[in-house]
Structures are given as structure tokens and as C-alpha cells.
Chains A and B, each alone.
Chain A
Amino acid sequence: MCCMIDSDIPIINSKLLREKIQENSIRIVDVRRDQEYQQGHITNAVNLPLAKLLADDSSESIQKIAQDLGISDETPTVIYDDTFGALSSRVVWALQYIGHKDVKLLDVTFSQWKDLGYEISTEVPEIETATHSVKINPEIMATAEYLEKVKENKNVVIIDNRERLNYLEQHIPGAINIPYRTLASDGKILRTKEGMKTLLKNRGISEDAEIITYCGSVGTLSGLAYYALKSIGVSNVKLYVHSFKEWKSLEKPIDKQENANYWDLSAE
């Protein structure tokens, strides 16, 4: 597993995972619903339906979830989903938040894994519970107060990862929009590094900026953006995990694209 920590980038290539799959010390976590998991999952993966984590995302609860999945402080852990990487990103982030050092996002979804012809199984591995500490990693999280405080700073970029129409209708003042779909490439949940760099360069976003990502409500789409930024080594990224839903409920200021009926262009 030393080899899984071959870089600081918390993303693992599917080919590499495939080679490591039989190592018992790795914990692979499938964050789809139980039913989907039962019908087949990556060999040796255990199941953590995302809803369970979202039901209570206090650090104690995340700690307990980790322990129940047999994840100790030292266990190399890999997370995947079948929702373009957004759900798994959110789980990777939660584990990093409580201080887990060796957790990685799989760079493909379950469907893409299957398309690659890689092994799947219906067998459910036995889990031995483990002990996990809590060493909060505050610098990867943004709260509403924090965001409000820093949002005017020159070096801060706020990115809204919802779809364009939602963004046009309302967004945090000063935020720019990178819809989550922009982050994927053919067959992978993320763009190539080069593609990601070009996107930022075109948009005039410096890789040295402090970047805060947010989305609609629970930090999944923006979680994916968080790791898209991490994939090219952006060091100062924060997830505004409670996102726009909380922002609105706190009645914070909101911007809107005025005087245009853009919704009527949608065929939905």
C-alpha cells in the first residue's frame, strides 16, 4: 500500500486499483444504495450508502462509520460510486475531514469499471471493526460565515458547480459557474490534468488562489469539483459543504441574472 500513496493527489487510477484489489489491507467502499451494491460491486468492496453519511455528518458519526467499515487511521481506503464521482467525492472528503490520510477517489464510476471489463462480484466481505481517531482538518471546509468573510478577498475564488440555469437564477454574489458536467471526460469522472488546467487558465483562475466550491445542498457536485482541483495539485481548496441550501436559509445575499427568460430555452 505504500504504492497507493505515490503522490499527494487523493485520486487513484482504476488500473492501479485493479492490481491492488486482492490486498486485504485495502478497504474499497461502494457508496451506492444497498440494493445496487448487492447486485454486484467491485471485488472486495464494502457498502456505505451515501444517505447514511448524510443523515448525520458530525465528526463522531463519520468516525463511527469508518470504524464500522473496518477503516483504521492507517487503512488505505478507496471510494467509488455510479453517480459521476460526486457521491464518492463527498465521502472521500468526509474521511479527510476527520483526519484520514490515505483515502482516494477512484477515477472511474462503477459502470465505467465494468465497461473496462474489470472484476466485479456479489460476495460481501466480512468486516472487522477498527479504531479510528478524529483529528479535524478544518482547512478543507468552508462555513457560511467564513465564506462571507473572505468572499471579497482578491485571492479568493468561489465556484458554483450547479447547472447553468440554476446558477443564472440565483447564486452567491461573486461566484463563478463551472457546472459539474464540465469536470468529466470520456470514460473518467475527471478531466485530464491538461484539460483541467486549460479550463482554469481560460477562466483566469490562478492555481494559487484560495478556491471555495459549493453546489445545491450537500456538497456532492462541489465535492467532485474539490477533487478536480486537487487532481492538478491546487493546494488551497475548501468545500462549502452545506452549500447553497444553507446559504439561502440563512438569508444571505443572492445574485441573479436579471431581465432574461433563459428557462424558456430549456427543453426539459
Chain B
Amino acid sequence: MAQQLRPSKPADKQSKIDWSRRQEAENFAETVKLFRQGKIDPDMFRRFRLQHGAYGTRMTDDYAMVRIKVPAGQVYPNQLEKIAQLSEMYSIGSAHFSTRENIQLHWVILEDVSEIMQSLSDVGMTSREACGNTVRNVMCSPMSGVCKDEIFDTTPYALAIARFMLRNPICQGLPRKFKFNFTCCEKHGMIRIVDVGLLPQIQEIDGEKRKGFKIFLGGGLGNRSFVGHQLEDFTPVEDLLYTSMAVIRIFDRMGDRKNLSRNRMRYLVNDLGWEKFQNLVLKERAVVKATQSVIVKLNIDDSVNEIQRPISVNDESASIPDGYARWEKTNVEKQSQSGFNSVFIGLEAGDITANQLRSVAEIIRDYSAEGFARNGFSQNIVIRYVHDDDLKSMYSRLIENGLAKTGSLTMASAVGCSGTTSCNLALTNSHRLAKEVQRKFLELNYDEDDDLKDSTIKISGCPNSCGQHQIATIGFYGGGGRHGTDMFPNYTMSLGGKFDEDAMLGHHTARVPVKRIIPVILKIIELFKENKQSDDTLAKWIDRVVSGNESSKITGVDDIKKAIAPLIVPPNVEDEPDFYMDYGSDTNYHTVTGKGECAA
């Protein structure tokens, strides 16, 4: 390769906000000790542990999962390097990117958690209020600021809300967890499946343009899922804080603290009825406004992001690396800023090795003109502000580091929750299943198929929906099935879930044994191909099928059921022993679960 002049790299960008508080680490270590000595009640300890971002782990009290918050998904190179190091020191040498823009370290010895917290402080990160009955990580679309359809960039507002709520006394003992999602546009955010979802809007009043939001309340996924309701036509940015406080106060006061299985705010909204809840919020907001003795304001950092193209690594003479076209088609999104691109880095079910994290950090420094990355919604990482001229060279770098998996922006990148790899409540290994599905899709080049592009596959290991299966075009949640006396992992399949402006939860269609999931997905794709209209996509077709609006041979869900019926009949155990084993396991399946703590 020809030698290029490389101007020195600009100074490493670091997070302007320090989310950490150092004393918390020491306090955590002390509390663990007291707990081990039996001086703290286990339930109290559990609440404390969750408040500090450490979940329990499957079938053991010795280990924890540490969930590191990444507010608005904004993550810096030095932070990724620190997490790489921590994963090797205290975890399994890999880290995990979650669907809510957190980064998780699994199988951490409880006694080591305080060391992780200590080190996170060095790079301004925290796990505080990442779990438990708190305001969870405040999300923001990974395309905010660069999306072609966005009205304005909501990132500063997401960060300000995160800052206001973190460690705020009003958020320390909520009836249940509470989630905020900000987005750029309908397509890129998940604003209708959270407690508070925010879509940017501009309203012109007397010739003056005012920024504000459409706010959606009371959505959420879980054992029972609901789609959020729009509060009012337009909520000006000045009212963002008051509205948020009003909603949290109502939830705090009226939310169900007894019945753990139905205490998310969506149940309150459902029980009261939307109109009543809506009125309460509007009234409460007026009260909040009127009774502030000092004006409480959000700390909005509206300063413009410095965009500085780091280096020109472009090499005109270099040949186009193999596979480049496929990768560019399925992983790169053009930005509203001309000449710049957002590059999606696909992982398998969100997992990444320590060395890959270090490479990502270096690649951000070398290629991103904004100097940091954003965590995506599908267990992925987005490096933005990559110049057109640098894409090929960046692709080569990604290949070298095993980070150039194609299909990030397509149906191939299946989402899978932790499942039996670490979660106490899991019934199946949904995590591995997602990886298997993705591998099959890439092997079949389905990532390049435009008909499949806007569809999704999401998998949960039990009905709790952490894998967001209800909003997937094809979703699955795990359970156990039985044939005679033999058990096998058996997933419930739902079809037609959506999270855009026509948000809809998928329709339960059939129970599919784990080792038949791939054949069933392929069968559905085959049916689609046989019956599709010329400019159809799988998602549109399934949408028509589930709503009974399809006029081809397949007129409804029942026809799909019929077509897959032969595939899902359990064979005898002697004929196909593998059928009775979950992925990642060489023994016959049986369900084992520990004490769940989602409601803790």
C-alpha cells in the first residue's frame, strides 16, 4: 500500500459528562461483605445490588452481571478500552451490547463488582440504576443527529433527562423500572414500547418555530405488552422536564407496589383507562409547574458537536476488498450530512471480545469525524461520520478484526436475549439460537435480499420479552414442550410485530420446537416468495397475512400454520436424539429456573 501522509490524530474525545460517583464502589464492597456475613437481609441486599446495576446470575449466588449504562448510547474509545480490560480481568473475556444501549459484563464474581465500579469511574461511566426499580438507561436513536428524516437532534435532551434522573431521590423507590426512549424519526426509534417515548417535532406559532415532542406514554413489552398513547399534539421542550416529572410522580404514587407481575406503568394506564391517566398527567404537570419554588431546568448541552475528519486513510490505488459491496449495502447508512456515513457493526447476539473492543476504539479514532460511537438498538455498534472516501479502508480494518459481519441493517442480524447463558428465568438458550439463525441467513446470502431487508427476527428465552420478540416480524419466546415423557425446547412464534407508527404486537401463530425454527423461518420465506406481489417485502406480506388482508393462496395465519404443521411434529427420541437437546447442550432438555428478580 502506498504510504499516506497521516496528520496526527486529533486529541482523543472523552465523555463530557462524568456519570460516576467513586464512593459508590467502596460502599458496594462493604455491603457485599456485610451480606456475606449474614448481617444484611437478602432481600434488602438484592434491592441494593440492583440499584447499583448488578443482576443475579443463573443458578448461583456467587456471580453477578454488571450492566454498564451508556446514556443516549454515546460511547467513547477510552471507555471501550476500559471495558475490554475489565472483561478480561473480571468477566469472560467478552462483553455484551444489549438492546437498550447498555454494555454488560457477565459471570462477574460478586466480590469483584466493586473493582469494576471503581475502574468505570476512571472513564466516567456508571452502572448505577441500570437495574432495579429505577429510571433505566435513557435511550436515544443511534441515528439522532445524522438521520435524514429527523426534525432536530434529541441527543442533548436525552442526556439531560438521564442526568436529571440519575441518583435523583424521586427515582429511588419506584414501583417498578421506568424507561425513556428518544428518537430521531418513527423508523429508527422504539418510542411506542416504553414508559415514555419522545419524537421530535417543530411547531410554528406566530411565525416562530418552536422545538418540542410528541410524547407517548404507557407502552411496554412483557408478559402482557401494550403500545404507548400520545399525550397531546405537541409538548414544547420547556415542558419536557415537567411532563416527565409529572408522569413519574403519578406512577410513584399510584403504581402497583404489591402485584409484582403487573406493576409497570402500562398496567396503571390500562387499569385507569387512557383518558383518565392522560388527565392526571396534565393536571399533575400544572401542579409541578406551579409549585416549583426554584425553577428547575434541564441542563441541556446544545453546543455543536465538533466534526473533524481524523485522517485520510483513503488509498486510491488500493483494490476494492472482497465482499465490500455486500457489506456496504447491508451495513452502511448515508447520513443527512453529505459525504458522511453511519457504519453499523454487526455482532452475534451482541457479543464482542476484548480484543475486538480495542479494535473498535482504534477504528473510531481513525475513522469517525465525531470521535465516539453510538450503541444501537439491536445489540450492535454504530460508528458515524465516516467519510465516503474512507469506507473501503475502514472495511478492510473491520475484516482484519472480525468485525465486518454483513447484514447488520437487515433481517439477518437476529436479536437474542441472554437466555440460559446467564439468566435465572430462562427456559431456553435463546442467545445461541439467535446466533444460529444469523449464521444460516448469512450462509444463504439472505442479507442481500431486498425483500427481507425491513423484517426482523427477535428471540426471548421466556415470556418476559427481553429479546423484544413481540415487535419482530418473526418473533419467538422459549418454553418447554413434551412428547410422551420426553421434553424439548419449544418456542412460541409470533408474526407481524412492528414498532413504527403503526406499532403492533405480533400474533401468536404456532409452537415451534427449537431444532425446527430455522426450517420454519425458511418455509415462511418460501411461502412469501411464492405468493408475494412484485414490490412486496416480507414484512408487508406478513402484515397482510396476519390482518387477513392477503388475497393469495395464503389468506391468513391459519394457512401458515397448515404449511408448517408437518415440520413441527416431534420425532421419536430414538430417531432424532438431537431434537430433544437445546443448542449448546449435549444432554436431554429439561427446564431449570432459579429465582427471578425482574421485579426486584
B59 and A163: CB pair below 8 A? no
CA distance A147 to B316 in the complex (A): 63
B422 and A260: CB pair below 8 A? yes
B115 and A199: CB pair below 8 A? yes
Of A199, A204, A259, A267, the contact of B356 (CB 8 Å cutoff): A267
Comparing A12-20, A62-70, A123-131, A176-184, the segment that makes contact with chain B is: A176-184
CA distance A263 to B432 in the complex (A): 9
Inside 8 A of A181's CB, which chain B residues have their CB? 88-89
Least CB distance, A228 to chain B, in whole angstroms: 13
Asked if B216 CB lies within 8 Å of chain A CBs, one says no
A261 and B60: CB pair below 8 A? no
Least CB distance, B583 to chain A, in whole angstroms: 7
Closest chain B residue to A182, Cβ basis? B89
Asked if A232 CB lies within 8 Å of chain B CBs, one says no
A264 and B435: CB pair below 8 A? yes
Asked if A56 CB lies within 8 Å of chain B CBs, one says no
Asked if B419 CB lies within 8 Å of chain A CBs, one says yes
Interface string of A247-268 (1 = CB under 8 A from B): 0000000000111111111111
Inside 8 A of A264's CB, which chain B residues have their CB? 421, 429, 431-432, 435, 583-584
Interface string of A80-118 (1 = CB under 8 A from B): 000000000000000000000000000000000000000
Inside 8 A of B582's CB, which chain A residues have their CB? 261
Inside 8 A of A267's CB, which chain B residues have their CB? 94, 347-348, 351-353, 356
CA distance A262 to B419 in the complex (A): 10
Asked if B36 CB lies within 8 Å of chain A CBs, one says yes
Asked if B92 CB lies within 8 Å of chain A CBs, one says yes
Asked if B293 CB lies within 8 Å of chain A CBs, one says no
Interface string of B202-244 (1 = CB under 8 A from A): 0000000000000000000000000000000000000000000
Asked if B469 CB lies within 8 Å of chain A CBs, one says no
Inside 8 A of A260's CB, which chain B residues have their CB? 57-60, 420-422
A203 and B418: CB pair below 8 A? no
Least CB distance, A239 to chain B, in whole angstroms: 22
Asked if A198 CB lies within 8 Å of chain B CBs, one says yes
Inside 8 A of A198's CB, which chain B residues have their CB? 115
B58 and A259: CB pair below 8 A? yes
Number of B interface residues at 8 Å Cβ cutoff, please give it. 43
Comparing B103-111, B250-258, B386-394, B536-544, the segment that makes contact with chain A is: B103-111
CA distance A226 to B584 in the complex (A): 35
Interface string of B84-127 (1 = CB under 8 A from A): 00001111111010000000001101011011000000000000
Inside 8 A of B90's CB, which chain A residues have their CB? 179, 182
A177 and B109: CB pair below 8 A? yes
A: interface residue count bin: 20 to 34
Asked if A168 CB lies within 8 Å of chain B CBs, one says yes
Interface string of A201-237 (1 = CB under 8 A from B): 0111000000000000000000000000000000000
Inside 8 A of B94's CB, which chain A residues have their CB? 265-268
Inside 8 A of A265's CB, which chain B residues have their CB? 92, 94, 96, 106-107, 351, 418, 421-422, 431
Inside 8 A of A204's CB, which chain B residues have their CB? 33, 36, 111
Interface string of A178-199 (1 = CB under 8 A from B): 0101100000000000000011
Inside 8 A of A199's CB, which chain B residues have their CB? 112, 115
Closest chain A residue to B59, Cβ basis? A259
Asked if A165 CB lies within 8 Å of chain B CBs, one says yes
A261 and B429: CB pair below 8 A? yes
CA distance A210 to B259 in the complex (A): 50
Asked if B40 CB lies within 8 Å of chain A CBs, one says no
Asked if A135 CB lies within 8 Å of chain B CBs, one says no
A258 and B92: CB pair below 8 A? no
Asked if A52 CB lies within 8 Å of chain B CBs, one says no
Known pairs A202-B115, A204-B111, A268-B94; A263 contacts B584 (CB<8 A) = yes
B29 and A261: CB pair below 8 A? no
CA distance A267 to B90 in the complex (A): 16
Asked if B338 CB lies within 8 Å of chain A CBs, one says no
Inside 8 A of B435's CB, which chain A residues have their CB? 264
Asked if B592 CB lies within 8 Å of chain A CBs, one says yes
Asked if A245 CB lies within 8 Å of chain B CBs, one says no
A261 and B115: CB pair below 8 A? no
Of A177, A262, A268, the contact of B421 (CB 8 Å cutoff): A262
Closest chain A residue to B118, Cβ basis? A198
Least CB distance, A8 to chain B, in whole angstroms: 27
Asked if B585 CB lies within 8 Å of chain A CBs, one says yes
B89 and A179: CB pair below 8 A? yes
CA distance A164 to B422 in the complex (A): 14
A258 and B59: CB pair below 8 A? yes
B60 and A164: CB pair below 8 A? no
B420 and A268: CB pair below 8 A? no
Inside 8 A of A266's CB, which chain B residues have their CB? 92-94, 351, 353
Inside 8 A of B347's CB, which chain A residues have their CB? 267
B93 and A164: CB pair below 8 A? yes
B432 and A163: CB pair below 8 A? no
Known: A265-B351, A265-B431, A268-B93. 11 other contacts (CB 8 A): A165-B92, A179-B90, A202-B33, A264-B429, A265-B92, A265-B107, A265-B422, A267-B94, A267-B351, A267-B356, A268-B353
Q: Which 3 A-B pairs rank lowest in CB-CB distance, beginning with the nearest? A: A267-B351, A261-B584, A264-B432
User: What are 15 A-B pairs with beta-carbon distances under 8 A?
Assistant: A179-B89, A179-B90, A202-B114, A204-B33, A204-B111, A257-B59, A259-B420, A261-B419, A261-B432, A261-B582, A264-B421, A264-B435, A265-B351, A267-B348, A267-B351
